[in-house]
Amino acid sequence: MQINAYWRQLGMQSSMLSKNKTVNSPLKLFNFYKDSSLGRMINFINEAVIVVNANGTIEMVNANASALIGQTREVLLSENLLSFFSDDTGKVQSHVIQCLDSSESETIESPPFEVVIKQQNKPYHNVSVEISISSLPEELSANNSLFICILRDLTLHKAEYATLKKKAETDFLTGLANRHKFSDYLTRQWILCNSNNLPISLILIDIDHFKLFNDEYGHIAGDRCLKRIGDLLDLSMPNRDTLAARYGGEEFAIVLPNCSAQTAQLLAIRIKRHLAQLSSRHFVFSSNSRLTVSMGVATNENHRYESKESLLNAADTLLYQAKAQGRDQICYL
Ligand SMILES: Nc1nc2c(ncn2[C@@H]2O[C@H](COP(=O)(O)OP(=O)(O)OP(=O)(O)O)[C@@H](O)[C@H]2O)c(=O)[nH]1
């Protein structure tokens, strides 16, 4: 494909098209470069390496890069690097063009940036890649501005990051969100609900006399009890926006964005009923009484509270009111 026609097809600006840069046929250049020291060197680099000219046409490519894109070297050589990017916004294209559009005397070393590559051998399969672009010195370019692009597959890195992030946000014992995640989520949802004039509710749940349960059955049974309560809360969440978290030792919290006071109260009643059923079956003291919970429910409607901290304080006060009034009950305004 003619290079200028290619750029037009990509919708490039006419100023870019009119740049008077010397561009030889890629195949001709490939034959020229493949036996050069540069050509031999990139084959030994243990990274995916692509050399492009100022128009983005691929002039050299090593085996790692060819495997990453999922296309043979021969096919890649007649293509433009940008045609393999998945770039709906066009931001990556403009950035690459900016890097390649340097004057010939200028040395370019772009900080690495992320692009998504459409893998050619796996339809609809995209891979996130970090790319850095540097201009090659004149003696290696044979009078033709050349740029070396190093591509690093981010798939493994992203998977590891996701695993670590999940771990950092999860309570080890119950598998619910931990307090850190709860706090972040409440902050985000508080801002979102307030800016959209939507209510937001909070339920705090504290197990009654849990110390007695631990004293009677031991800490391992206590842990099992916390885990089962966590599972039940998780199963009771009405939608994906609702977040159940372990707030402290034997305390749980539920964030309910876009949820009215009435709906939050009904949910609290339902959860308490389910917990009572679970308790009657599994968590009964030798005195024959079962494990119970106390709950505080607060809702920010019509800007009742000035901050998320005030909402949290309100739910906490209501929870302690439930404790003070004899436990095993729900308090709300
Ligand atoms: N097994 C187990 N126990 C825990 C864990 N975290 C906190 N606890 C126990 O929870 C109990 C909390 O005791 P308190 O704060 O006195 O509260 P309580 O006995 O539930 O009494 P009230 O809240 O006043 O009804 C303590 O005995 C803690 O050891 C945990 O991860 N596992």
For ligand 1, the distance from its centroid to the CA atom of residue 250, given in whole angstroms, is: 5
Task: Determine whether 169 is an active site residue.
Answer: no
* Atom of ligand 1 minimally distant from the CA of 220: 1
* Predicted local confidence at residue 35, as pLDDT: 56
pLDDT in tens, 197-234: 999 999 999 999 999 999 999 999 999 999 999 999 99
For ligand 1, the distance from its centroid to the CA atom of residue 272, given in whole angstroms, is: 19
**Is residue 69 lining ligand 1, measured as CB closer than 6 Å?**
no
* Predicted local confidence at residue 102, as pLDDT: 63
170-332 CATH choice from 3.30.70.270, 3.40.50.300, 3.40.50.1100, 2.40.160.50: 3.30.70.270
Helix, strand, or coil here: 324? helix
**Is residue 219 lining ligand 1, measured as CB closer than 6 Å?**
yes
**Residue that is written with structure tokens 């040395």 in the block:** 107
* Predicted local confidence at residue 23, as pLDDT: 42
For ligand 1, the distance from its centroid to the CA atom of residue 246, given in whole angstroms, is: 13
| Residues in the chain with pLDDT values less than 50 | 1-24, 26-27
CA distances to 94, 139, 146, 300 from 126, rounded to whole Å, are 20, 36, 27, 42
* Predicted local confidence at residue 143, as pLDDT: 65
* Predicted local confidence at residue 251, as pLDDT: 98
For ligand 1, the distance from its centroid to the CA atom of residue 219, given in whole angstroms, is: 10
Supply the CATH classification number for the domain 3-159. 3.30.450.20
* Atom of ligand 1 minimally distant from the CA of 210: 20
* Predicted local confidence at residue 330, as pLDDT: 98
* CA-proximal residue: ligand 1, atom 18 (nearest): 209
For ligand 1, the distance from its centroid to the CA atom of residue 317, given in whole angstroms, is: 19
Which residues of the chain does CATH 3.30.450.20 include? Answer: 3-159
* Predicted local confidence at residue 272, as pLDDT: 98
Q: What are phi and psi of 118, to 5 degrees?
A: -85, 110
* Predicted local confidence at residue 5, as pLDDT: 41
Which residues of the chain does CATH 3.30.70.270 include? Answer: 170-332
Pocket test for ligand 1, best of 178, 179, 206, 210 (most atoms within 8 A of CB): 210
**Residue that is written with structure tokens 């870019």 in the block:** 16
**Is residue 324 lining ligand 1, measured as CB closer than 6 Å?**
no
Q: What are phi and psi of 200, to 5 degrees?
A: -140, 135
* Predicted local confidence at residue 121, as pLDDT: 79
* Predicted local confidence at residue 7, as pLDDT: 36
ipTM: 0.98
Q: Which of 250, 251, 306, 309 is catalytic?
A: 250
Cβ pair 281, 301 in contact under 8 A: no
CA distances to 175, 227, 233, 258, 319 from 252, rounded to whole Å, are 12, 11, 9, 20, 11
